[in-house]
Amino acid sequence: MVEITINMDYGSGEPLYIQLYNFFKKEIQTGKIEPGERLPSKRRLAQHLGISQNTVETAYEQLLAEGYAESVERKGIYVNNLNRDLFIHFEDSPQTQKEISEDSVQYRVDFSHGAVALEHFPYSVWRKLTLQSLYEEENSHFLNGDSQGELALREVISKYLYQSRGVRCSADQIIIGAGTQYLIGLLTMIIGRDRIYSMEDPGFHRTREVFKDQGVTLKPISLDQEGIVLNHLAESKANITYVTPSHQFPNGMVMPITRRMELLKWAGEKDRYIIEDDYDGEFRYKGKPIPSMQGLDRNGKVIYLGTFSKSLIPSIRISFMVLPTSLLEKYNQHFTFYKQTVSRLHQHTLWQFMISGHWERHLNKMRTVYRKKQTVLIQSIEKYLGQKVTVIGDEAGLHILLNVQNQMSETELIERALEKKVKVHPTSVYYANQDIGQEPMILLGFGGLTGDQIELGIRLLKEAWELD
């Protein structure tokens, strides 16, 4: 395995993942890292350099995308065999010395699916409640709290989940954690690593990486127009499956009630569980709300995951999971020594925000805001892109997929957009089994954009993609 010695320049203003990517690229081009060598694992390298695992992952993704390395399932990332003659004059050529970083571009429009409408966040209310959290009961919130999270917050979350999503649970079944990835890692330890896990393909790549980092056997399961294909799930021999039924990520379909009931029937077998990630279930634009799978479950087979990242702000890092009683017993026996990962002050502030009615008002407001933004996006696509594209997944959530029919590859679509200073996002990263013959699809998030920015972005994409 490659030994890495690199000094990260924190004062340069250049993103750390770009520094890491450029380091590896140069080492590979000059032959200092030879073909066939395995790069360090993301976790190991992040610890070695004192940076986040996401930073390493982003750098590696760029190396993979440009062909400098390839990912071998369950083994790691290996350097590809390149024609070094092409790089002999690399350092002498002014043209090749010129590095163009995406992060150095001042985007006119960034269709990020992770952004939210920060301009509508109730700053003054949150500031007031935060100060109250600091003063109430003096310094009690400065000490460690319950490993599952603050009881008062779990109680109000329990009531909210029942009223809004039909989730049936007590506060004792809820565990609060700093992000869904952390909770999935904890859940994998509770369930056990000796099971066969599965997830939708395509599916959220960060979740896939958590499962892989936990060392479990993970089977990708294909989708049809209603969600996960059950006969493929049965054939996989998996006994744990991760799904996003209320807004499949990234394809956007909503799993109908019939498929949900069939999946629950599958889970009825001994030692099978469904992990239901309801990451943005609050935002639905077409049809009537569909109850959570957990609310339909009568056998204690569904683990429900939720988050405040989409509905409030991403940086708050407050997510939660609802454990069925069988897994709650295992948690209480073996895992309560893991300390709570979310600030008690933030938990207390959120509790006050919810019990005082601010949460409900904010959520209702944001439903209207995002519905209007999505309408602008769809209308702009119809106006500028016409029949050359197909919109996928517009029933819910804060993103859509765009199938572009102009013979360009996914990479070409992204690069052409970049020339117009518009950032669009790939969908290939979400596939475990990439279908080579599949038409390219681009992901467009709209939560963090204004109506004018959305229309401008789509108009520029028409020019970039030559859709006349």
CATH number belonging to domain 109-119+361-464: 3.90.1150.10
Q: What is the value of pTM for the model shown?
A: 0.75
**Segments of the chain assigned to CATH 1.10.10.10:** 16-97
CB distance 422 to 348 below 8 Å: no
Residue showing tokens 């001994």: 270
Sheet holding 240-243, edge to edge: 174-177, 319-322, 302-307, 273-277, 240-243, 196-201, 217-224, 227-228
The answer to whether 78 and 89 have CB atoms below 8 angstroms apart is no
Boundaries of CATH 3.40.640.10 in the chain? 141-356
pLDDT (tens digit per residue) in 18-76: 888 888 888 888 888 888 888 888 888 888 888 888 888 888 888 887 788 888 888 88
| Cβ–Cβ < 8 Å for 309, 239 | no
Per-residue confidence (pLDDT) for residue 72, from 0 to 100: 87
**Of all residues in the chain, what percent are helix, strand and coil, respectively (each to 5)?**
45, 15, 40
The pLDDT value given to residue 415: 92
pLDDT of residue 74: 82
E-assigned strand segments in 121-252? 174-177, 196-201, 217-224, 227-228, 240-243
Instruction: Look at residue 372 in the predicted model and tell me its pLDDT.
Output: 95
CA of residue 367 relative to chain centroid, distance = 20
Which CATH number does 141-356 carry? 3.40.640.10
Residue ranges of the chain assigned to CATH 3.90.1150.10: 109-119+361-464
Q: Per CATH, which fold does 16-97 belong to? A: Arc Repressor Mutant, subunit A (1.10.10)
pLDDT score of 105: 56
Low-confidence ranges of the chain (pLDDT < 50): 88-104, 436-437
* CA torsion, ordered 287, 292, 295, 298, to nearest 10 deg: 110
Instruction: Return the half-sphere exposure (C-beta side, CA atoms, 13 A cut-off) of residue 11.
Output: 0
Sign, Cα dihedral of 231, 232, 238, 241: negative
